[in-house]
Structures are given as C-alpha cells and as structure tokens.
Structure 1
Amino acid sequence: MSETPDRILRLKAVLERTGLTRSTMYRKMQNGSFPKNIQISDRCIGWRQSAVDAWMRSPMRYSADAER
C-alpha cells in the first residue's frame, strides 16, 4: 500500500486554509501553537500539509513540540 506524499503549502494557501492573519500565524509559531515552517529553497518557505491539517483538527490543543 503506497502512502500519499505530504504536500508543501505556501504562505498564501496556509492563510486561506486557516483563516489566520500572517501576524497571528507567526505569533502562534513563536509560542509553539502552530506548525513550524520548513525551508524549501533560499527564498522560499512552506508548511507540511499534514501539520496544518493536524492544527486545524484541534487548534486549541495543538503543540508544535508533539509534531515529531
């Protein structure tokens, strides 16, 4: 059975999907209540879709420390 690969979402897609503002999302990342971004290239970042989906299932209980 093959697993579906985890997609990388860009900033605009994450903001549209979550309904957060950019500043709120970055503040939540700093305090560990939103998934951390990953570096895609020198000037490009993204978020793992699975991590964003986990946050959306339970935003009040999400902890970035529990990601790994």
Structure 2
Amino acid sequence: MTVTEQSPRCIWRMTTLKAKTGLGRTTIYDLMKDGRFPKSRRIAGAHAVGWDSLEVEAWIAEQLGERQ
C-alpha cells in the first residue's frame, strides 16, 4: 500500500497493532513512551485502548521510507 492509498479510518486494538507492525507489546509501549510511536487512545470506557489506524499506517510508511 502506498501513502496515497489509505484504508478507512478505524481503531486498532493491540492484537491487530502487533500483527500490522510486527512489534511486541513491550516494544510498542516503549516506543510510545519515547514519543516514537503513535499514542493510544482510551475507548469504550476506562480500561480499553486503541490506536488510530491512519496514524499507525503513516508511522509504518515512515519506517519503510515511503513518506516524504
């Protein structure tokens, strides 16, 4: 997928996030803490979090050198 082809915006939970990025839970949270990965957002109450799919897809493209 190129940067110009965007999927519809949705919320990704951790299982999807790990599958899409190839990263583990600890690595994702460490990168978030360092400001090097999109932040999670609270959804459906206090205990559930998710990530904006478009933000994560942009991060993936940047890692692959596709973003200008």
The aligned runs of 1:1-68 (5 Å cut-off) are: 6-40=9-43, 41-59=45-63
- In structure 2, C-alpha distance between the alignment counterparts of 1:18 and 1:32, rounded to whole Å: 16
Give ranges in structure 2 of 5+ residues lacking alignment.
1-6
Aligned-residue CA RMSD (Å)? 1.9
Q: What displacement does 1:59 show?
A: 2.5
What percentage of residue pairs aligned between the two structures are identical?
Answer: 34
Q: Which runs of 4+ in 1 moved over 3 A?
A: none
Write the distance in 1 (CA, Å) between the matches of 2:28 and 2:41.
Answer: 14
- Give CA deviations for 1:11-44 in whole Å, capped at 9, x if unaligned: 1100111000111110000001100000002210
Residue 63 of structure 2: SS of its match in structure 1? Answer: coil
Larger RCO (alpha carbons 8 Å, 6+ apart) = 2
For normalisation by structure 1, the TM-score amounts to 0.77
TM-fit CA distance, 1:54: 0.6
